[in-house]
Amino acid sequence: MTASSLTLLVALVVVLVAFVIQRRRPRFTVVPKLIAPPRGSAAAGVIYAFTKAFAPTAKESASLHLLSYLAGIGYHLATFAALARLLVSLLPVAVPVAANTTGAVLFAFGLACGLALLAKRTLDARVRGISVPDDFLANLLVDATLAAGLAASLDSGLVPLFQVIGALLLLYAPLGKLRHMLFLLTSRRWSGAYFGRRGVRPNPHTSGIPRG
């Protein structure tokens, strides 16, 4: 195993341990007991949270800024593809040419989306006013990872650089907003089940679920 692969593997173990520790904190594990009788379906709420709730029509800000929403979708898809490519780089397998080409296109598109979103955050006074340093640093780290992933897809000799930058991204993830790559899933599952059980989501007036 190369030094860069070992670095990436250690970072992966560290971030998994950090996420487990954060998940087991009292504020996550202590949930008030539900007393009120259910008025809807928790399962329907979870399904809604992971499907229609992501649509721009379900979010006023997204529907008003559709280009930024679509750029965010592309950015996130490319980021998860980069994480998957990092995991593959730890395996003793050869990546097919077609997969490398697809990865290069996706990484390039994601990088363009990330830089566009960073430019908007920097140049738009309203967005800049509600931003914190973590917003900029997280974006730059992801952009650097996508750029390294793109370079590694074009030249396999740059895979070690991709692994090192990816390790830095992983190590930073539990410290800032990037932790949502994991906790978005758990928080949406919980909120979806809660509001589904309460009969709030999906909207009972459009889904046919009775309110009482």
In a domain, 102, yes or no: yes
Q: CATH code at 120?
A: 1.20.950
**Cis check: omega of the bond before 174, within 30 degrees of 0:** no
In a domain, 212, yes or no: no
Query: Domain containing 165: what range?
Result: 3-200
In a domain, 134, yes or no: yes
Q: How far is CA 105 from CA 89, 147, 209, 211, in A?
A: 18, 11, 43, 47
Element (H, E) at 46: helix 42-49
| Residue range 142-201, pLDDT digits in tens | 999 999 999 999 998 999 999 999 999 999 999 988 888 878 888 888 888 888 888 887
- 141 touches 103 (CB < 8 A): no
In a domain, 105, yes or no: yes
In a domain, 77, yes or no: yes
| Residue range 62-113, pLDDT digits in tens | 777 888 889 999 999 999 999 999 999 999 888 889 999 999 999 999 999 9
In a domain, 108, yes or no: yes
Residue 154 in tokens: 């074009």
Q: How far is CA 200 from CA 42, 47, 50, 120, 190, in A?
A: 10, 13, 15, 34, 14
Query: What's the domain count of the chain?
Result: 1
> In sequence order, what DSSP letters do the residues of 126-157 get, joined into one string?
HHHHT--HHHHHHHHHHHHHHHHHHHHHH-GG
In a domain, 22, yes or no: yes
